[in-house]
Amino acid sequence: MENTPPDHSLSVGVSFGDCDPAGIVFYPNFFRWFDRCFHHFLAARAGGHAELCARLGALGVGLMDVQAQFRAPVRENCTLTLDLRVREWRGRALRLGYEGHVGDTLCVTGEEVRGLFVMREGRMAAGEMAPLRAALGL
Amino acid sequence: MENTPPDHSLSVGVSFGDCDPAGIVFYPNFFRWFDRCFHHFLAARAGGHAELCARLGALGVGLMDVQAQFRAPVRENCTLTLDLRVREWRGRALRLGYEGHVGDTLCVTGEEVRGLFVMREGRMAAGEMAPLRAALGL
Amino acid sequence: MENTPPDHSLSVGVSFGDCDPAGIVFYPNFFRWFDRCFHHFLAARAGGHAELCARLGALGVGLMDVQAQFRAPVRENCTLTLDLRVREWRGRALRLGYEGHVGDTLCVTGEEVRGLFVMREGRMAAGEMAPLRAALGL
Amino acid sequence: MENTPPDHSLSVGVSFGDCDPAGIVFYPNFFRWFDRCFHHFLAARAGGHAELCARLGALGVGLMDVQAQFRAPVRENCTLTLDLRVREWRGRALRLGYEGHVGDTLCVTGEEVRGLFVMREGRMAAGEMAPLRAALGL
What's the pLDDT score for residue A66?
98
Residue A123 has what pLDDT?
A: 85
Confirm if C62 and C115 have CB atoms less than 8 A apart. Answer: yes
Q: Which residues contact C101 (CB under 8 A, 6 or more apart)?
A: C80, C81, C83, C107
- Mutation target vs A (from D52, D53, D70; most A CBs, 10 A cutoff): D70
Of C21, C28, C76, the CB nearest to A19: C21
Chain D interface residues (partner C, CB cutoff 8 A): 13, 15-17, 23, 32, 35-36, 39-40, 43, 48-50, 76-77
Look at residue B26 and tell me whether its pLDDT is greater than 80: yes
Contact list in D for residue C17 (CB cut-off 8 A) is 32, 35-36, 39
Across the range D67-83, mean pLDDT stands at 97
Q: How far apart are CA B79 and CA B102, in angstroms?
A: 6
**What is the C-alpha separation between A97 and A111, in angstroms, rounded?**
5
Q: Which amino acid is at B98?
A: Y
- Cβ neighbors of A127 (< 8 A, separation 6 or more) are A56, A58, A92, A115, A116, A117, A118, A120
A31–D27 CB contact, under 8 Å: yes
Q: Supply φ then ψ for residue A47, to 5 degrees.
A: 80, 5
Residues of B with CB under 8 A from a CB of D: 16-17, 19-23, 26, 28, 76
| Beta-ladder partners of B116 | B61, B127
Per-residue pLDDT of chain A (138 residues; tens, 9 = 90+): 678 999 999 999 999 999 999 999 999 999 999 999 999 999 999 999 999 999 999 999 999 999 999 999 999 999 999 999 999 999 999 999 999 999 999 999 999 999 999 988 888 889 999 999 999 999
Average pLDDT over all residues of chain B? 95
CA distances to A50, A59, A135, C47, D71 from A125, rounded to whole Å, are: 18, 10, 20, 26, 11
Alpha-carbon gap: C15 to the closest alpha carbon of chain D (Å) = 6
Nearest residue of D to residue C47, measured between CA atoms: D77
Structural contact between residues D18 and B28, judged by C-beta atoms closer than 8 angstroms: no
Q: What is the pLDDT of residue C1?
A: 61
Dihedral over Cα of B73, C56, D75, A66: its sign: negative
pLDDT at D1 over 70: no
Radius of gyration of chain A (CA): 16
Q: Provide CB contacts within 8 A for B63, sequence distance 6+.
A: B112, B113, B114, B115, C27, C70
Between helices D28-46 and A28-46, what is the axis angle to 10°? 180
Q: Which helix (H) or strand (E) element contains residue C46?
A: helix C28-46
Do the Cβ atoms of D28 and A28 come within 8 Å?
yes
Cβ pair C11, C81 in contact under 8 A: yes
Searching chain C, which residue's CA lies closest to the CA of residue B36? Answer: C28
Helices (H), chain D: 28-46, 49-56, 130-136
- Give pLDDT tens digits for B112-135: 999 999 988 888 889 999 999 999
In order along chain C (138 residues), what is the average pLDDT of each group of 10 residues? 89 98 96 98 95 94 97 96 98 98 98 95 90 95
Residue by residue, DSSP assigns A51-118 as HHHHHHT-SEEEEEEEEEEE-S---TT-EEEEEEEEEEE-SS-EEEEEEEEETTEEEEEEEEEEEEEE
Read off the pLDDT band of B1 (50, 70, 90). Answer: low
Residue D30 has pLDDT above 80, yes or no: yes
* CA C114 – CA C95 distance, rounded (Å): 7
- Inter-chain contact A39–B16, Cβ cutoff 8 Å? yes
Tell me how far apart the alpha carbons of residues A16 and A137 are, in angstroms, rounded to a whole number: 38
**Would the CB atoms of C16 and D35 count as touching at under 8 Å?**
yes
